[in-house]
Structure 1
């Protein structure tokens, strides 16, 4: 007699795929991050196999989640909270960022906080990949002064200024001042026809 499969584990495939895609990860990327082979991940995503708890735990870790988050055991309704300082982090060369929104399936906007030391710019190694076609970005300067370089034009921004632009155009923020600058950015995916 075959063992009964936990329906919570069996339904994880589409969620893994949506979370992986929300993080702009290929199957190979997630395989490297989780230690689970790409063919196994593909079978899980397609619902051809149900992962063991150990495999599911490794997949969750590769997605920067706890197992309970991957399986939605600790979600209450449609509320997902990312606590201060617990967002996904990255950056290099004087630019640090933290993704403040959770990697939820179907989430069409992402909020990030960027800290740029004097002389630092966004768009370097360790930064998020370029935005998808049709994406729009709204950014608020929380502290300091920055220059937005977008599609060959420059826009001076100061604390409290808010800017919205087509994020699929070549762009970066530069801190030309001697003070640290902080920027809150909201990227909405695919809202504009390309």
Structure 2
């Protein structure tokens, strides 16, 4: 199996690292997801080795990408499209919370858009859960359907379909659906410094 062009090794390595970090995966996590050993992944990320196309394809799969996306063969200028069947899905929750990440895992991306669906009585987390976003992050959520309640840093905010809320996402927070019907919301989390 042919190796990836040597001129692309460093670019691929830094891209793999950026994508892995954007997905909050350790080398070990990506190794488990891709079937490529952590030492090999480390060498690829540092540009010390050129992966075969087979290994690059396994790495891409571990990052929820097609090989062409990892190698940037299908990028056309500054536009990246995530098709409905290509969304990254979050782990299924026993709490009745399902979500999909709608933005692509691009290196250096400073914002992530996700869609959350809450069954009746379900929540995205609970009291005492640690903040899941980096310091300085801001979150804006738009309620698409149903009613949700935002619990943020000890305060409670009732939201209806069509309402939008923005808050410091590095504070303890979670959304819950108090009603019997399903509720959905779009959330965008952006990194950056909190305004004083």
Q: TM-score, normalised by structure 2?
A: 0.91
Q: Which of residues 114, 117, 132 in structure 2 aligns to 1:115?
A: 117
C-alpha distance in 1 between matches for 2:10 and 2:167 = 41
Q: Deviations over 1:38-59 (max 9, x none)?
A: 1111111011111111110110
Matched, 1:35 2:35: yes
Which residue does 2:7 correspond to in 1?
A: 7
- 5+ residue gaps, structure 2, are none
Which consecutive segments of 4 or more residues in structure 1 shift more than 2 A?
3-11
Q: Which of residues 155, 158, 161 in structure 1 aligns to 2:160?
A: 158
Which structure 2 residues correspond to residues 1-194 of structure 1 after superposition, within 5 A? 5-9=5-9, 11-90=11-90, 91-92=92-93, 93-123=95-125, 130-192=132-194
Report the number of matched residues.
Answer: 188
Native 8 Å contact 2:4 2:50 kept in 1: no
C-alpha distance in 2 between matches for 1:157 and 1:104 = 31
Native 8 Å contact 1:142 1:181 kept in 2: yes
The alpha carbon displacement at 1:6 in A equals 4.4
Native 8 Å contact 1:100 1:111 kept in 2: yes
C-alpha distance in 2 between matches for 1:5 and 1:60 = 16
C-alpha distance in 2 between matches for 1:5 and 1:177 = 55
Q: Deviations over 1:29-74 (max 9, x none)?
A: 1011011111111111011111111110110000000000000001
Per the alignment, do residues 152 and 4 of structure 1 end up closer, same or farther by CA in structure 2, a change over 3 Å counting? closer
Greater CA drift, 8-17 or 90-99: 8-17
Native 8 Å contact 2:9 2:47 kept in 1: no
Native 8 Å contact 2:99 2:115 kept in 1: yes
- 5+ residue gaps, structure 1, are none
C-alpha distance in 1 between matches for 2:183 and 2:34 = 34
